Amino acid sequence: MERTDILRGLAARGADTSPQRLSDLAAELGIPVADLFVVAGHPVPSELLPPARDAEATGEFAYRVSHCGHAQLTALEEFVRSLPRVATLEPPAPSAQPDSPCGGPAGSGGSTVFNGLLRNRGFGIDELPFLGLSRSTLRTMSSRWEPSPHRRFQLCAVAGPLGWTLPDLFAVVDEPYAEELRPVVLCRHVGWVLEAAVPLTTAQLVEAAEEADRLSAREDQGVWQPVSQGSVAECPDFA
């Protein structure tokens, strides 16, 4: 069975899949375990969620990561994974939901999956780097998943920061995928760094953001620059 068929099946009927089976599938597919719990409609164990941390530091980190090229992203991911995992008594971050979260059961629709994947990384809408979508569009995606002629573009925009391939993400929200589709601004290699940073504390996020700046040689202009460098054109996935 192809991986997209497996993912589509989990999204439709995953409630009956055991947590152990989900963990095994996550290892086979190379997808974070917490993400498969979301797709299958299972509650995510607290130990898989990020600790409570400062939203501003989270957003600054993501923004600075988005300025790294592919070689720099590889080095940054190694740096992030080298940081010690600090035991914390703080609870996991609260659900990264918009003002009007989707009310359906987990895994029942695209909004619920989108919200769950954001929560697994400790992000709210306002902490995401520039994706080529407005904040209002992202909030709409988070609150309802109605048919839209823009859905394929939206999925291409959010897949990269989530660290998901386009075929996989299209499969779990049951949208038709076409091979000519490409990420909009950021590719999944950015998302790999953001996923690696899930266990980091606020202080470690600040440290990792400084390392991202060092690697990218990004010059601080003293004001927020809304458009990231991006490197989709150079992504090896589409060479």
Measuring CA to CA, which residue among 118, 117, 84 is closest to residue 208? 84
Angstrom distance (rounded) from CA 100 to CA 103: 9
**Cross-strand bridge partners of residue 92:** 51
- Residue 145 above 50 pLDDT? yes
Q: What is the DSSP letter of 50?
A: P
- pTM confidence score: 0.88
pLDDT in tens, 187-217: 999 999 999 999 999 999 999 999 999 998 8
pLDDT in tens, 92-113: 554 443 333 333 333 347 999 9
**Contact yes or no for 70/234 (Cβ under 8 A):** yes
User: CA 63, 36, 144 angle in degrees (round to 5)?
Assistant: 65
Angstrom distance (rounded) from CA 73 to CA 139: 28
